[in-house]
Amino acid sequence: MKKGIFLTAIILMVTLIVSAISIYTIGQSPYKEAKQEALAVAKKEAGVTDVKEFYWYNGSKTYFSVVGNTAEGAGKVVIIDQKNGKATVLNQNETITKKQAIQLTVQAKKPKKILSARIGIEEKVPVWEVAYKQDNGRLGYYFITLKTGDWIKDIGNI
């Protein structure tokens, strides 16, 4: 009797583990597909061969961004409109870094915690969107220009 219960428990655990792995894999599929497509566009449009970062931005429109280097070592930022595939290519040395975007957000908003930073486009301007947790536990977004780090807007108390 105890052997039967033990065997049933093991089968149940294995089934749960396999199910969890399957759900995770299926959930990651759109991300992987978007990343592969963005990398192909970045290679074609800007010659990016060495990818450093990939971002998925959902603002007023959805954009996929790739930060990387060409074979010659030139840093590039490629922002791709998900809907029409149009790519905006910037030289990385003409933009602020993720670290700088986070530092500017910390100075301006003094958040409890930085959650993420991603590149996108708002009103035809390439931006860093920095998501953070406020002291009151609510979510906030701070938008600054990708090129200069100038403030564009912030959304708080979400």
At 25 the pLDDT is 60
Domains of the chain (ranges; CATH) run 2-94 (3.10.450.40), 98-155 (3.10.450.40)
Torsional class of 52: left (φ above 0), alpha (ψ -120 to 50), beta (otherwise): alpha
Residues contacting residue 80 through CB under 8 Å, at least 6 positions apart: 38, 41, 42, 63, 64, 65, 66, 86, 87, 88
For residues 99 and 25, give the distance between their C-alpha atoms in angstroms, rounded to a whole number. 30
CA 124 to chain centre: 19
- CB distance 63 to 80 below 8 Å: yes
CA count, 13 A, side-chain hemisphere, 9: 6
At 16 the pLDDT is 74
For residues 51 and 64, give the distance between their C-alpha atoms in angstroms, rounded to a whole number. 13
Strand duo 139-145 + 151-155: pairing: antiparallel
CA count, 13 A, side-chain hemisphere, 14: 6
Residues contacting residue 143 through CB under 8 Å, at least 6 positions apart: 122, 127, 128, 129, 130, 151, 152, 153, 154, 155
Please give the average pLDDT of every successive group of 10 residues along the chain, which has 158 residues. Answer: 73 73 66 89 96 95 97 97 96 97 96 97 97 94 97 89
Burial call 17-31: b when 16+ CB within 10 Å, e when fewer: eeeeeeeeeeeeeee
Name the residue among 115, 120, 122 with its Cα closest to residue 138: 115
